[in-house]
């Protein structure tokens, strides 16, 4: 069985008045994929989700579900269901009737209906909550009921609008794993909107990073982390050191550059096309090591001074000011016991193959 | 292309909105605007017999209004009484609203319900009750005479402007308490704490922070009490006597025994004009003041 | 910091007395065995309540008031429901203007509306009576109902309607299954309060009712005669108790399901 693209978005734009919130979006999402729309608030990700749900209509462009054009189909006729950011549990009816809400037209017998509701509640581990009302549920429970209410309809696509945003950190992490497992076992397409890059990274098959109405990159999490297409993506996903540099010469696949704070460096096996003389060089904090004496295993070693140390438990960040430069480098280390304290002199070491060239 | 689609969406939203609004707007146009226009036209006519009105245009009714001093006097008195009613109501209810907003911790809703409940009970009976309280054989006089503090009833309690002012202030209290309470309750308590922290006393904090922030409620209360009370009829009729008569009582008699519809209409038009001018003035001054404060 | 303020509290108690004494005086005297409302009380009697049952004009006036009140409250709640929906759901062009126009009848002196209506009604050669009274009450109640319903709708989470659409219901069924049940307490509160306003309204009915008296007009006509007003006190006592119960029900309904929302701006 070949995996096909279930959702297709073609040349889609959306404006509210004079404000263009989505600019010529093209996107394809595979069947059974856990797909995240990731971006800062106001980037257009929620609007894109609402267009998929049918609450907003695009100003231009088309949306296809399973090759059928659904661009102007109202939400009640779409094979998609949504988990709302605030869950939208109907406060005037109990959990049982909330979950049954969307099944009215399916003409199920009472037993069948009961069975569907029970299964849905079991799926979200809330058996026995049938008679509760929205105000008798915790945030996490509401979130699960919203999920059950959408899944009981057996949708082809589940749309989730920052569903974990209102939960505390611990519960959020549990739900991330649970959602991921649920999606794998049901095999339906999840479109997940979030502004939390960690959440997107841990759950998704693929992520679309959005900013100011544009999709900047669509890739699996690892690809996005290691090969960000531009400065925005690199900075939005994880921490990164970005340094200005100038190209001195290009020979074969080797590039000779002058980095603002490091001086001249050579990049090997470089294949990207360079348009400008000015470029950005980036390196992740964990790709740099810090030591008391210069470490000869790395291509480059620079002397510096530890300005700040931030301890995060599983890792520690050092902010190192390089000698003869204003530039402060972020260096991370996994060991919890660090032999450094603030204002110590140190060496930072890294290899040239970890240096990436990044577009603006 | 893009903008035309938006225009259609935009227009259709406006169409839906105005379809929903149309019953209310039709009501206002046919039951208020149109009658008012007819009222204005009538004010330029002449009553010639019990049922006949001469429809030729004349400014005679306005000349009548201003040539007989009683009319201007009643209009002025109506405004004056309303002014004092507004002032008295604000001054007496502000501490109350302040107390509920800042000191009542539990059951604020209950307090508000209790404070506004009397407003709903028959207006007529409440006003009448004041006649019973203030009258010669009324509660106050009979109580004072019963205790032997006075021998003869105090005649000055009833049938004067003060009685009208007190009664109206009682009747309209709810209209001041609610806007005042809402504006006071909205004030972020940390602003007041900040003021103390910066060295202000409680009194200074009130005048420099609390009161300016409650101004929207004060203005709301002023407008919502002043405007309707200018046209009050029941209170002056029941507790005002001759001294407390207001323009409304005159208007009523012009539509009743005196049977002069055009003059009654002219009086109503002038009352409305006066009220609008004063309301506009209050709003204008408020805007100026709040602009200067910000 | 704001724990206690005895001076203010005492002031509040006095103000409470000022508010309630005039209201409570009438029920007290309604049981007093005397034509005059004078302290000390003479003796206890139910006579005035019994007398009330035998007044056929009172019954007619009561019936008129209930008729006008029901029509006015139902019609104005309906009109207000649409208007509130328009203001909360759409960005209405000329918002301030139309909003102000609809609220205007609530603000301007009633006597001016009464004069305007009596002038247009008689100049069209129509007979005064309960019809113009009802129209004027609808005009007067609508802004009130609209404010109540707007505050209810503003607390309404739009995503609930979207959730219903998303779960397969069209707009008609979404209205009946979600919107209407959630607005119902507000709608009933609006009906009750509009009824109370109409039932209590004096000046419009005074100008426009002609010989078809409503209850306040009937009471007004009896106030001049000392021999007659004890039964008005009995009537007044009943009105006070019934309207208080209706208003408390309405307050309770308005806040039902609103959580801790404390918007009393339109609670009047």
- Give the distance from residue B284's alpha carbon to the nearest chain C alpha carbon, in angstroms: 17
Q: What is the mean pLDDT of residues C137-161?
A: 90
Domains of chain A: 5-235 (3.40.50.300), 241-358 (2.40.50.140)
| Pairing, β A68-69 against β A60-65 | antiparallel
Q: Which of A51, A42, A139, A126 is nearest to A87 (CA)?
A: A139
* Overall average pLDDT of the C222-246 stretch: 85
Mutate to test the interface with B, among C61, C107, C109 (most CBs of B within 10 A): C109
Backbone angles phi, psi at A243, to 5 degrees: -130, 140
Q: Does C257 touch chain A (CB under 8 A)?
A: yes
Structure tokens at B156: 């000055």
Q: What is the mean pLDDT of chain B?
A: 87
Q: CB distance B2–A13 less than 8 Å? A: yes
Q: Is residue B224 part of a domain?
A: yes
Closest CA to B21 of A219, A135, C89, C171: C89
Partners of B5 on chain A (C-beta within 8 Å) are 59-60
Give the minimum alpha-carbon distance from A75 to chain C in angstroms, rounded to a whole number: 5
Highest mean pLDDT out of B2-6, B121-125, B169-173: B169-173
- In chain B, the number of structural domains is 1
CA–CA dist C183, C178 (Å, integer): 9
Q: What angle do helix axes B69-102 and B161-171 make, rounded to 10 degrees? A: 40
Q: Which of B24, B125, B178 sits opposite C83 (nearest CB)?
A: B24
What is the distance in angstroms between the Cα of C150 and the nearest Cα belonging to chain B? 13
Q: What is the pLDDT of residue B286?
A: 81
The residue in chain A having the minimum alpha-carbon distance to the alpha carbon of residue B7 is A17
Shortest Cα distance from C167 to chain A (angstroms)?
5
C-beta of residue B53 within 8 angstroms of C-beta of residue B47: yes
Any domain includes B38: no
- Provide the terminal-to-terminal Cα distance of chain B, rounded to the nearest Å: 44
Cα–Cα distance measured from residue A143 to residue A175, given in angstroms and rounded to the nearest whole number: 10
- Considering only CB atoms, which chain B residues are within 8 Å of A13? 2
Smallest CA-to-CA distance from B84 within B165, B161, B172 is with B165
Strand spans (E) along B206-250: none
Is C247 in Cβ contact with B117 (below 8 Å)?
yes
pLDDT digits (tens, 9 = 90+) for B46-82: 988 877 888 889 888 999 999 999 999 999 999 999 9
Question: Is C98 in contact with C142 (CB distance < 8 Å)?
Answer: no
Q: Where are the alpha helices (DSSP H) in chain A?
A: 45-53, 95-100, 110-123, 139-151, 169-186, 197-203, 221-226, 231-236
Q: Which of B118, B252, B264 sits opposite C20 (nearest CB)?
A: B118
The alpha carbons of chain A give a radius of gyration, in whole angstroms, of 25
Is there a contact between B2 and A17 if contact means CB atoms under 8 Å apart? no
Contact residues on chain C for A98, CB-CB shorter than 8 A: none
* pLDDT value, residue B1: 41
Query: CB distance from C67 to chain A under 8 Å?
Result: no
- Angle between helix axes C6-29 and B123-134 (nearest 10 degrees) is 100
How far apart are the CA of A88 and the nearest CA of chain C, in angstroms?
A: 5
Question: Would the CB atoms of C92 and B14 count as touching at under 8 Å?
Answer: yes
Residues 146-175 of C with CB under 8 A from A: 157, 159-160, 162-170, 173
Reported ipTM: the value is 0.87
With a cut of 90, say whether residue C24 has pLDDT above it.
no
Q: How far apart are CA B113 and CA C189, in angstroms?
A: 14
B46 found inside a domain: no
Dist CA A228 CA A239 (whole Å)? 12
CA gap C101, C92 in Å, rounded: 14
Q: Does pLDDT of C115 surpass 90?
A: yes
3-state DSSP percent of chain A in helix, strand and coil, to 5: 25, 35, 35
C-alpha C17/C-alpha A344 separation (Å) is: 76
Is position B174 within any domain?
yes
Backbone angle region of C42, left / alpha / beta, with phi > 0 → left and psi within -120 to 50 → alpha: alpha
| Residue in chain A lying closest to C157 (CA) | A88
Closest to C208 (Cα-Cα) out of C64, C101, C75: C64
Residues from B in contact with A at Cβ < 8 Å? 2, 5-6, 9
The pLDDT, as a whole number, for residue A259 is 83
Do C268 and B178 lie within an 8 Å CB cutoff?
Answer: yes
Q: Do C166 and A53 touch (CB under 8 A)?
A: yes
Chain C residues 33-72 with CB within 8 Å of chain B: 36-40
Question: Do C257 and A76 make contact, defined as CB atoms within 8 angstroms?
Answer: no
Rounded to the nearest angstrom, the minimum Cα separation between A38 and chain C is 22
Whether residues B2 and A60 touch (CB distance < 8 A) is answered with yes
User: How many CA within 13 A on the CB side of residue A269?
Assistant: 5
> H helices of C124-170, where?
130-154, 158-166
Residue A146 corresponds to which tokens in the numbers above? Answer: 């919203």
Q: Point out the residue among A82, A86, A104 whose CB comes nearest to the CB of C157.
A: A86
A325 — phi, psi (to 5°)?
Answer: -160, 155
A281 phi/psi in degrees, rounded to 5: -110, 130
- With contacts defined as CB-CB under 8 Å, which chain A residues touch C160? 88, 90-91
Angle, helices C130-154 vs C180-200, to 10°: value is 140
Distance CA A246, CA A269 (A): 18
Domain that holds residue B269: 72-293
Strand order across the beta sheet in which A300-311 lies: A289-291, A345-350, A300-311, A316-322, A328-333
pLDDT score of A51: 94
| Phi, psi of A56, deg, nearest 5 | -125, 150
Give me the sign of the Cα torsion angle B265, B269, B274, B275.
Answer: positive
Instruction: Choose between C143 and A279: higher pLDDT.
Output: C143
Q: A227 near A195, Cβ under 8 Å?
A: no
Which has the closest alpha carbon to C203: B222, A137, B236, B42? B236
Task: Tell me whether residue B44 is in a domain.
Answer: no
Q: Convert the pLDDT of each residue in B220-247 to its tens digit.
A: 999 999 999 999 999 999 898 888 899 9
* C83 band by pLDDT with thresholds 50, 70 and 90: very high
Q: What is the mean pLDDT of each run of 10 residues along chain A (360 residues)?
A: 77 90 94 94 93 91 92 89 90 90 86 92 90 90 92 92 87 90 92 93 94 94 90 90 84 78 76 70 89 86 89 86 81 73 88 82
To the nearest 10 degrees (0 to 180), the angle between helices B161-171 and B173-185 is 50
* Cα dihedral across residues A211, A216, A219, A221: positive or negative: negative
CB contact (8 A) between residue C163 and residue A75 = no
**pLDDT for the residue numbered B188:** 85
CB contact under 8 A, C265 and B178: yes
Q: Would residue B150 count as lying in a domain?
A: yes
What's the confidence (pLDDT) of residue A275? 64
Q: What's the pLDDT tens digit per position in B174-213? A: 989 999 999 999 888 888 888 887 878 888 888 888 888 8
Which residues sit opposite A28 in a β-bridge?
A: A8
Task: State whether B119 and C20 contact (CB < 8 Å).
Answer: no
Domain-located, residue B42: no
Residues of A in contact with B2 (CB under 8 A): 13, 15, 59-60
Q: What is the pLDDT of residue A279?
A: 82
Query: What CATH number has the domain bearing residue B166?
Result: 1.10.3720.10
pLDDT for B193: 80
Residue of A nearest to C162 (CA): A55
Average pLDDT over residues C217-241: 85
Closest residue by Cα to residue A359 from A215, A212, A235: A235
- In-domain check, residue B25: no
Give chain C's domains with CATH numbers.
Answer: 56-255 (1.10.3720.10)
Among A137, A184, A146, A187, which residue's Cα sits nearest to residue A164? Answer: A146
Residue with tokens 């009943």: C238
- Count the helices and strands in chain C (H runs, E runs): 12, 0
Where b means 16+ CB within 10 Å and e means fewer, B79-98 reads bebbbbbbebbbebbbbbbb
**Closest-approach residue (CA) in chain B for C241:** B121
Q: Which helix (H) or strand (E) holds A306?
A: strand A300-311
């Amino acid at each position: 069985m070949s995996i096909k693209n279930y959702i297709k978005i073609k040349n889609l734009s959306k404006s509210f008045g004079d404000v263009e919130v989505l600019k010529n979006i093209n996107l394809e999402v595979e069947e059974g994929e856990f797909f995240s729309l990731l971006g800062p608030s106001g980037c257009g990700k929620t609007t894109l989700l609402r267009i998929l749900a049918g609450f907003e209509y695009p100003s231009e462009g088309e949306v296809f579900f399973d090759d059928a054009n659904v661009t102007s189909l109202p939400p009640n006729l779409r094979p998609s269901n949504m988990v709302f950011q605030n869950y939208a549990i109907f406060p005037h009816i109990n959990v049982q009737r909330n979950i049954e809400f969307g099944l009215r037209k399916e003409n199920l017998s009472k037993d069948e209906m009961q069975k569907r509701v029970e299964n849905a509640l079991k799926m979200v581990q809330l058996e026995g909550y049938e008679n509760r009302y929205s105000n008798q549920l915790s945030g996490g429970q509401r979130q699960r009921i919203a999920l059950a209410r959408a899944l009981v309809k057996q949708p082809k696509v589940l749309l989730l609008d920052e569903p974990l945003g209102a939960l505390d950190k611990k519960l959020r992490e549990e739900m991330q794993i649970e959602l991921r497992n649920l999606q794998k076992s049901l095999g339906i397409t999840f479109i997940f909107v979030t502004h939390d890059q960690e959440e997107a990274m841990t759950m998704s098959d693929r992520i679309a990073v959005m900013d100011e109405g544009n999709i900047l990159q669509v890739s699996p999490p690892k690809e996005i982390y290691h090969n960000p297409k531009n400065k925005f993506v690199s900075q939005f996903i994880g921490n990164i050191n970005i340094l200005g540099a100038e190209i001195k010469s290009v020979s074969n696949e080797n590039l000779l550059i002058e980095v603002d704070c490091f001086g001249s460096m050579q990049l090997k096996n470089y294949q990207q096309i360079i348009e400008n003389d000015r470029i950005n060089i980036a390196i992740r904090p964990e790709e740099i090591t810090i030591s008391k004496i210069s470490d000869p295993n790395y291509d480059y070693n620079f002397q510096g001074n530890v300005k700040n140390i931030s301890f995060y438990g599983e890792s520690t960040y050092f902010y190192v000011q390089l000698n003869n430069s204003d530039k402060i480098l972020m260096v991370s280390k996994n060991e919890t016991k660090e032999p450094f304290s603030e204002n110590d002199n140190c060496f930072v070491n890294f290899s040239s193959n970890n240096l990436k060239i990044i577009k603006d | 292309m893009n903008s035309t689609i938006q225009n259609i969406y935009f227009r259709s939203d406006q169409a839906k909105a105005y379809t929903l609004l149309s019953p209310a707007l039709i009501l206002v146009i046919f039951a208020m605007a149109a009658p008012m226009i007819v009222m204005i036209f009538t004010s330029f006519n002449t009553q010639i017999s019990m049922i006949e009105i001469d429809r030729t245009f004349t400014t005679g009714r306005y000349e009548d209004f201003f040539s007989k001093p009683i009319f201007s006097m009643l209009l002025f008195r109506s405004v004056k009484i309303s002014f004092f009613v507004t002032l008295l109501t604000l001054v007496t209810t502000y501490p109350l609203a302040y107390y509920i907003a800042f000191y009542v911790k539990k059951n604020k809703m209950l307090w508000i319900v209790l404070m506004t409940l009397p407003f709903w009970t028959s207006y007529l009976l409440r006003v009448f009750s004041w006649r019973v309280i203030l009258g010669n054989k009324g509660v106050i006089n009979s109580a004072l005479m019963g205790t032997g503090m006075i021998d003869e009833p105090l005649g000055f309690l009833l049938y004067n402007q003060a009685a009208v002012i007190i009664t109206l202030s009682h009747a309209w209290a709810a209209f001041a308490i609610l806007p005042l309470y809402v504006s006071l309750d909205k004030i972020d308590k940390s602003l007041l704490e900040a003021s103390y922290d910066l060295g202000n006393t409680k009194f200074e904090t009130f005048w420099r922070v609390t009161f300016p922030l409650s101004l929207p409620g004060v203005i709301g209360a002023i407008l919502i009490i002043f405007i309707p009370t200018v046209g009050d009829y029941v209170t002056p009729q029941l507790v005002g006597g001759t001294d407390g008569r207001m323009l409304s009582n005159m208007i009523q008699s012009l539509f009743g025994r005196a049977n002069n519809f055009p003059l009654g209409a002219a009086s109503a038009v002038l009352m409305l004009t006066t009220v609008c001018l004063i309301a506009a003035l209050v709003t204008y001054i408020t805007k100026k003041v709040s602009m200067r404060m910000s | 910091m704001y724990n206690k303020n005895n001076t203010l509290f005492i002031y509040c108690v006095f103000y409470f007395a000022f508010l309630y004494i005039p209201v409570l005086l009438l029920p007290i005297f309604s049981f007093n065995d005397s034509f005059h409302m004078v302290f000390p009380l003479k003796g206890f009697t139910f006579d005035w309540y019994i007398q009330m049952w035998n007044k056929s004009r009172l019954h007619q006036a009561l019936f008129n008031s209930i008729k006008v009140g029901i029509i006015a409250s139902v019609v104005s709640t309906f009109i207000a429901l649409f208007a509130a929906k328009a203001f909360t759901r759409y960005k209405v062009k000329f918002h301030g203007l139309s909003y102000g126009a609809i609220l205007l009848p609530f603000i301007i002196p009633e006597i001016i509306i009464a004069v305007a209506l009596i002038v247009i009604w008689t100049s069209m050669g129509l007979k005064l009576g309960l019809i113009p009274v009802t129209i004027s009450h609808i005009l007067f109640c609508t802004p009130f109902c609209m404010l109540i319903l707007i505050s209810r709708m503003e607390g309404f989470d739009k995503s609930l309607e979207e959730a219903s659409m998303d779960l397969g219901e069209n707009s008609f069924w979404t209205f009946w299954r979600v919107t209407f049940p959630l607005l119902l307490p507000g709608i009933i509160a609006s009906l009750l309060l509009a009824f109370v306003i109409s039932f209590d309204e004096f000046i419009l009915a005074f100008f426009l009712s002609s010989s078809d008296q409503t209850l306040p007009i009937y009471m007004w006509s009896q106030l001049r005669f000392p021999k007659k007003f004890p039964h008005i006190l009995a009537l007044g006592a009943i009105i006070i108790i019934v309207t208080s119960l209706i208003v408390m029900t309405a307050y309770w309904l308005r806040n039902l399901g609103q959580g801790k929302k404390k918007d009393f701006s339109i609670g009047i």
